[in-house]
């Protein structure tokens, strides 16, 4: 069996498997909360875990495209929507953790954070950018927007992921190991797009500008 071309049935099975795997971080958090094993500062732990997985899923979502261009495998692209929605899902949990558990609806404190704390100034809009992407993720929305505009809109994932990594980089106190790893991986994923451009299609922007 070749990994290049997989049947619908196989891809469907892979999708189910990835779906289950993607829920593991959440299940582990729930189990930890239930058995009181999230440590002395559970709110911080929940915030860190949900943030970590938001970024991780953003990076995984950015992988199928360069993978297809490099290896010629078309099927991982079919997992992309689900992966992106998981990034949004963990992003929502991360944002809700901040809103409810950390700040407990202290609107003044939240506004001050957004204005004065650079890591939140960049992290909050990065989260907001995911909302239009999630909303337009359905087949129906792709059809209504048309592939061209839909694809242009979904390039928002680039500033969103960059914002997420910068958010992480700016919030750690001293040990930059993890932010550096995320930054390098993101650099590779974005760099691969620049190097391995599809041969058939012209750059998207020039087409739109011409109209």
Partner 1 sequence: MKPYKTPAIPASEITPKTLFYARRKFMRNAGGAALTALLPQSLWAAGPFGDLKKSPYAVEEELTPRKAITSYNNFYEFGTGKEDPAANAGVLKTRPWTVSVEGEVNKPKVFDIDDILKMAPLEERIYRLRCVEAWSMVVPWLGFSLAELLKRAEPTGNAKYVEFVSLYDPAQMPGQKSAVLDWPYREGLRIDEAMHPLTLLTLGLYGDVLPNQNGAPVRIVMPWKYGFKSAKSIVGIRLLEKQPTTSWMKAGPNEYGFYANVNPDVDHPRWSQTKERRIGEFLKRKTLMFNGYADEVAPLYASMDLQKYF
Binding site for partner 1 (CB under 8 A): 39-41, 43-44, 101, 104, 106, 109, 112-113, 116-119, 170-171, 173-175, 177
Give residues with Cβ within 8 angstroms of 193, minimum separation 6: 65, 66, 69
For partner 1, the closer CB: 104 or 107: 104
For partner 1, the closer CB: 184 or 208: 184
| 177: its two tokens | 């190991």
For partner 1, the closer CB: 43 or 92: 43
For residues 91 and 127, the answer to whether their CB atoms sit within 8 Å is: yes
- In whole angstroms, what is the distance from residue 98 CA to residue 110 CA? 9
Place of tokens 């041969």: 199
For partner 1, the closer CB: 48 or 81: 48
Alpha carbon distances (Å) from 67 to 47, 49, 139, 197: 31, 27, 23, 12
CB of 175 to partner 1, least distance (A): 4
- In whole angstroms, what is the distance from residue 186 CA to residue 190 CA? 6
CB of 105 to partner 1, least distance (A): 11
| 133: its two tokens | 């992407």
For residues 157 and 84, the answer to whether their CB atoms sit within 8 Å is: yes
CB of 124 to partner 1, least distance (A): 14
CB of 58 to partner 1, least distance (A): 22
CB of 40 to partner 1, least distance (A): 4
For partner 1, the closer CB: 108 or 139: 108
């Amino acid at each position: 069996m070749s990994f290049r071309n997989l049947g619908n049935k196989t891809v469907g099975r892979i999708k189910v498997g990835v779906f289950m795997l993607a829920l593991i971080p959440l299940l582990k958090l729930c189990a930890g909360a239930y058995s009181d094993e999230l440590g002395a500062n559970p709110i911080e732990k929940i915030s860190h875990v949900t943030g970590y997985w938001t970024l991780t899923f953003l990076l995984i979502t950015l992988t199928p495209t360069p993978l297809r261009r490099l290896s010629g495998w078309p099927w991982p692209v079919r997992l992309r929507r689900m992966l992106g929605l998981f990034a949004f899902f963990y992003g929502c949990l991360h944002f809700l953790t901040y809103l409810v558990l950390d700040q407990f609806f202290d609107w003044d404190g939240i506004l001050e954070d957004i204005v004065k704390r650079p890591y939140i100034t960049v992290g909050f809009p990065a989260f907001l950018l995911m909302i239009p992407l999630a909303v337009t993720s359905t087949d129906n929305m792709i059809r209504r927007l048309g592939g061209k505009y839909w694809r242009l809109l979904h390039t928002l994932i680039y500033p969103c992921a960059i914002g997420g990594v910068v958010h992480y980089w700016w919030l750690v106190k001293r040990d930059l190991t993890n932010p550096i790893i995320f930054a390098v991986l993101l650099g590779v994923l974005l760099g691969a797009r620049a190097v391995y451009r599809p041969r058939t299609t012209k750059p998207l922007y020039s087409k739109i500008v011409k109209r």
